Amino acid sequence: MARQSDRAGGVGEAIPLRRHRSSLEGVIYPAPQRLAPEKHVEAIKVFDRLIQHFEPLQASNEDYKPMTLLRLMKEEVSSEDEFLVLFFNHIEPGELEVTEASLPKTLARLHSFQEWTSEERDALNQSLANFASFLVDYFFLPLKSLAAKTPQPTPASLSRLDLSGSAIGTPQRVSNLRKSCLTRDRHRCVVTRKFDTREAEMRYKIDGDNVKDDDGKSLEEEAENTAYLEVAHIIPHSLMSHSDIEGESKLTERKQVAHKVLKMFNPDAFYRIMGTDIDRQMNALTMTHDVHQSFGNFEIAFEPVQNQPPHTYKIDYVNSNRRFRTHALPVTRTLYITPDRNIEPPSAQLLDLHRAIGRILHLSGAGERVDKIIRDMDDIKGGEVCSNGSTRIDDYVRYKLTAELHQMPVF
């Protein structure tokens, strides 16, 4: 983006003002790369100047703050170079991909953005907002809309099993995962510590009034305080599902973008849950239904507690000032580990990734924005399209694409 007139002390000759991207279709997603140290420093400097300028200009009456979302993303990702290159690709108004070789030219042009005309700065501001919307649509929306939808196997679903077990999220895989997590977590919700109702009933039929929990303690005192427990994925299993195209398993374009963004947070954690590894025990927790809903909605997070036994976490609402609380939080829990480690403990890396995503969603207001989109789209599903144009067709189409391309069948 450049001014239409010559600039004193500018870089080279004037570059004509181009229209900023109103759509992100057809964008070239650059291959993973690391910037040279001096380019990394300059890219950080330009990014910070852009955010420092535009973040205070966000509408004060709006809950959603796109510039804050961008700032928090840069703070939370571990692969800063990946994020910066993607960022400058999306706000770069030219037709070519921004590469390490062309990045200095882009940075030099953006370095003097405060000298641009108000029209050009407005266009740049819109480009930044478009990139934030891209992250919401392709990454945060599918995470929020599908994260609490781990399919819970039922007797009917298990009777229709695909015994190959090669697919992601099949009833057999989820059933095996649930059994493993229940054993590891001692048949208790990791947050509330409520005992599993089904397991308690089975033990009562065998042991009667002598029924005990996994630690040998009587369950009689908990008879009215058990719950039906579920397996909850830390990172949604839907993100790793594939589309079957002519017999070949392929990732959709939207899921490729989601994977790219997820890898920016923690590449090592991402590769540990690729493919069917998404259903590993390290990516799952035992929870009551209501805790699962809050956790899957990124409303509660696990923060490691220092100078405590391994796997000890403070569990609290991401919004610590939340007025209405379904759960008695915060609580500090040390997660159970099997003595012989034959069942993987929950991954600290994945829990930290989950917490980072929840922080971004809350502080930027993107979480509430996504929740509103989901509520509005659910209303549209049961209603009619208004002739006056008030129905948000674009949001509805985007939401349906997200659901269809990310969701796994729930048997």
Higher-confidence position of 57 and 246? 57
Higher-confidence position of 279 and 4? 279
Contact predicate 273/280, CB 8 Å: yes
Domain ranges of the chain: 37-146, 155-406
pLDDT digits 0-9 by tens, 93-151:
543 455 556 788 889 889 999 999 999 999 999 999 999 999 998 899 888 876 655 55
Confidence of residue 34 (pLDDT cuts 50, 70, 90): confident
Please tell me the predicted confidence (pLDDT) of residue 150. 55
Residue 263 has pLDDT above 70, yes or no: yes
Residue 376 has pLDDT above 90, yes or no: no
Query: How many whole angstroms separate alpha carbon 274 and alpha carbon 154?
Result: 26
Q: Which residues pair with 301 in a beta bridge?
A: 316
Q: Phi-psi category of 3—alpha, beta or left, where left has phi over 0 and alpha has psi -120 to 50?
A: beta
Secondary-structure breakdown of the chain: helix, strand, coil percentages, each rounded to the nearest 5? 50, 10, 40
pLDDT digits 0-9 by tens, 336-366:
999 888 999 999 999 999 999 999 999 999 9
Query: Which residues have CB under 8 Å from 119's CB, separation 6+?
Result: 17
Q: What is the mean pLDDT of residues 279-294?
A: 94
Query: Which residues have CB under 8 Å from 76's CB, separation 6+?
Result: 265, 356, 357, 359, 360
Contact predicate 291/192, CB 8 Å: yes
**Residues of the chain above pLDDT 90, percent:** 51
Please tell me the predicted confidence (pLDDT) of residue 329. 94
Query: How many whole angstroms separate alpha carbon 394 and alpha carbon 56?
Result: 28
Please tell me the predicted confidence (pLDDT) of residue 326. 85
Contact predicate 377/396, CB 8 Å: yes
User: pLDDT averaged over the chain?
Assistant: 79
Query: How many whole angstroms separate alpha carbon 233 and alpha carbon 277?
Result: 11
Higher-confidence position of 62 and 49? 49
Query: Is 146 exposed, middle or buried, given 0-12, 13-18 or 19+ CB atoms closer than 10 A?
Result: buried
Please tell me the predicted confidence (pLDDT) of residue 142. 81
Please tell me whether residue 285 adopts helix, strand or coil conformation: strand
Peptide bond into 330 cis (omega under 30): yes
**Residues of the chain above pLDDT 70, percent:** 71
